[in-house]
Structure 1
């Protein structure tokens, strides 16, 4: 007779398969139960006994770091554990400036998870999530199980190469290695920086996906920074922006002015040109209308919520999210049938910009939600804020910017759009260029300092 596995044993079994076979990826191997080895007894993580309600935060990006810090501030009784698989932090935001030599790598990476934890009185736990048992409120990790009273998942995004016509796993792998998108892993920034520095001319293609992708203006900003290097080095080269959208998604007038006035013979902007296939070996990109050859590229596919959301069984149905985001309510970020589990940051289905400032400010709100709920209370909805600087010129360093809030309809439990106080600043100048640096320093302080 076939032995049936209950939910906890199945997730444990899946985690064991991951630990044995994948070497640290933040996913859960969902194999055939009948072929799996016997489930071993659980091992608890080597953590001090909780001194209050234990809040476990998964993901040490902008959202996770902010939740960990401010939940503790909102409720000092919380025993906060930040679970992060990386042992070294590096930000995705501001990385475009590094490509053009406007900042150094230390600007992005000189920030310590250890310092953040010490400064803000929580525990940094370096481990990979391998499973979740919501019945017993237990998070499974590569370094042992952790019991929680509240769990916040902030794992970010994953790429969805199938949506740009790349179904073969081997080709997907080569695209990640050869032409990274530059919006997930810090090592992608290292590769793109090398590409820009070693570019000797020809055609550099930057693709822009459809949907709600991470940092809407970033691909256009990157194109400007690559063009600035081509201009500085007097190369015979151009940057082609293949945009799946009918128009630049945000700050369009400011970007078009930069393209036309600063990089007229360097940047070629091609809207409504969704990628339908990529050959990384012949260096060709297929669209509905044409084929583009390239010498180098940063191929940004469509995005989805981190695969961790799907593997932990928290993904929303396709009718609610076509980007495989978490099945959470709009107001409180709570998983639909579990008041102990929350998802914040870029894996949430809200139509907010998937950007650093948005994730940071919504995390402040999520921290308040958690503190209130630990006290048996509720709070009023608060809009996140999307402040975004886009540097369009390197010498001198000039930027454009936007400052946006959002409107919530409580009757329909939906976000209806931008608020009336949203401001867009499209005239590039050096003051906003300096503002881009000060903005980044402010985010780092808010996440890492006391």
Structure 2
């Protein structure tokens, strides 16, 4: 696949840090003087090794901060196409008025200024690993080390079978709400304007972003309907045979608090979506809906293919990296972090943030000629099931390598699912405190 051909997706917006296919193919020419010119005005924040990070999510922000801590003289540049950071974790609370937008909104400029690296607001459309150049709509950046932390893309193929018009309509009219904030804003308006009928939410198969989030969202929207006496129901269509995490606690919430407002459908693998007649078909059921937010399966960012670091034609949505060092196989100058990685760690904010420490140490050890010692990423996750008072559940876990299975498994798991009593309200407070601490960790 030609790297720029990978962007030809019928005008649909592609991965984080990549400009739209139409714009790139028609307007971008690598011989263009503006594109080929280096960015002379970009200040150097360090006299040492030049490290470029693509993607300003939970992982990219953490990598940038830790690199300046571990290698103070490094010239670290974070490339991010968004001008403002709006958090996906905790956004479910914002959808139903549980937190203010200000709480989940933060400044990339503040993060860079507070931690000594450079924030470069640009969109990446190509990477030349032989020449070690990152091409953006604002010029190119040279690098000695490159970290790709571009997050996820949605994979609608199982629902659309190549029907780009249907995919476009699903993306724009029924967004999943697990990437950019515009999707969340649309879903919030849907909730506020919902009058009656079924509101469909879906849970994808595979290792999707934030395992408990679809169930949390279903509970919070049902809570909103219940308190506002809306004549509707949340229909949660789960591709999996059961709730994927915190099953006991979520089932208790479904049955005890939202029996009249939430219908849970396991093994509901969607075979057809009829948007004109507002119907969803599975092998056994047909469900009508008034509104919906369809969450498809996920894959790693298409930037992996553009950079030539995807595993292969079959596993093109995963980075081809050493699972212990995060270094791209065959390229000692490129690393991949966050939700594009192939390891079966939770695709969550806390996990990606903790990986920032690991990747930064791995690069430091590489530069200093030290032996890399792997340390597990950490996942801490809170899930709200109700507001006023806020009740939540939590899970803490590390990971360990299983030599026999050649894979990572959960390790030192601590699960709290009893949201009924004081531990549930304490977890509700803990959710907000956790979010505040994580934002401070990335931005201050």
Rate the CA distance shift 1:15–1:165 in 2: closer, same or farther, 3 A: closer
Instruction: Name 2:441's counterpart in structure 1.
Output: 446
Deviation at 1:166, TM superposition (A): 4.8
| d(CA) in 2 for partners of 1:99, 1:353 | 23
Equivalent position to 1:301, from 293, 296, 303: 296
Instruction: Name 2:375's counterpart in structure 1.
Output: 382
Equivalent position to 1:422, from 408, 413, 426: 413
TM normalised by structure 2 equals 0.91
Where do 1:150-165 residues align within 5 Å?
150-165=145-160
Rate the CA distance shift 1:297–1:28 in 2: closer, same or farther, 3 A: closer
Equivalent position to 2:180, from 179, 185, 198: 185
Equivalent position to 2:396, from 403, 408, 421: 403
In the alignment, is residue 262 of structure 1 matched against residue 262 of structure 2? no
In the alignment, is residue 53 of structure 1 matched against residue 49 of structure 2? yes
Deviation at 1:29, TM superposition (A): 5.5
Q: Is the CA contact (8 Å cut-off) linking 1:325 and 1:348 kept in structure 2?
A: yes
Deviations 1:92-122 (A, max 9, x none): 010110122110111111x100000000000
Equivalent position to 1:107, from 103, 111, 133: 103
Deviation at 1:189, TM superposition (A): 0.7
Q: Is the CA contact (8 Å cut-off) linking 1:391 and 1:400 kept in structure 2?
A: yes
Instruction: Name 1:71's counterpart in structure 2.
Output: 67
| d(CA) in 1 for partners of 2:128, 2:148 | 14
Deviation at 1:158, TM superposition (A): 0.6
Deviation at 1:276, TM superposition (A): 1.8
Q: Is the CA contact (8 Å cut-off) linking 1:330 and 1:414 kept in structure 2?
A: no
| CA RMSD in angstroms, aligned pairs only | 2.7
Instruction: Name 1:91's counterpart in structure 2.
Output: 87
Where do 1:7-26 residues align within 5 Å?
26=18
Q: Helix, strand or coil for the counterpart of 1:152?
A: strand
Deviation at 1:14, TM superposition (A): 7.3
Deviation at 1:280, TM superposition (A): 2.2
Deviation at 1:286, TM superposition (A): 1.8
Deviations 1:71-94 (A, max 9, x none): 110110211000001111101010
TM normalised by structure 1 equals 0.90
The gaps in structure 2 that reach 5 residues or longer are none
Equivalent position to 1:333, from 326, 346, 357: 326
| d(CA) in 2 for partners of 1:414, 1:352 | 14
Rate the CA distance shift 1:38–1:208 in 2: closer, same or farther, 3 A: closer
Deviation at 1:123, TM superposition (A): 0.3
Instruction: Name 2:365's counterpart in structure 1.
Output: 372
Instruction: Name 2:233's counterpart in structure 1.
Output: 238
Instruction: Name 1:279's counterpart in structure 2.
Output: 274
Q: Helix, strand or coil for the counterpart of 1:405?
A: strand
Deviations 1:331-353 (A, max 9, x none): 11111110100000001101001
How many residues were matched structurally? 432
Q: Is the CA contact (8 Å cut-off) linking 1:352 and 1:358 kept in structure 2?
A: yes
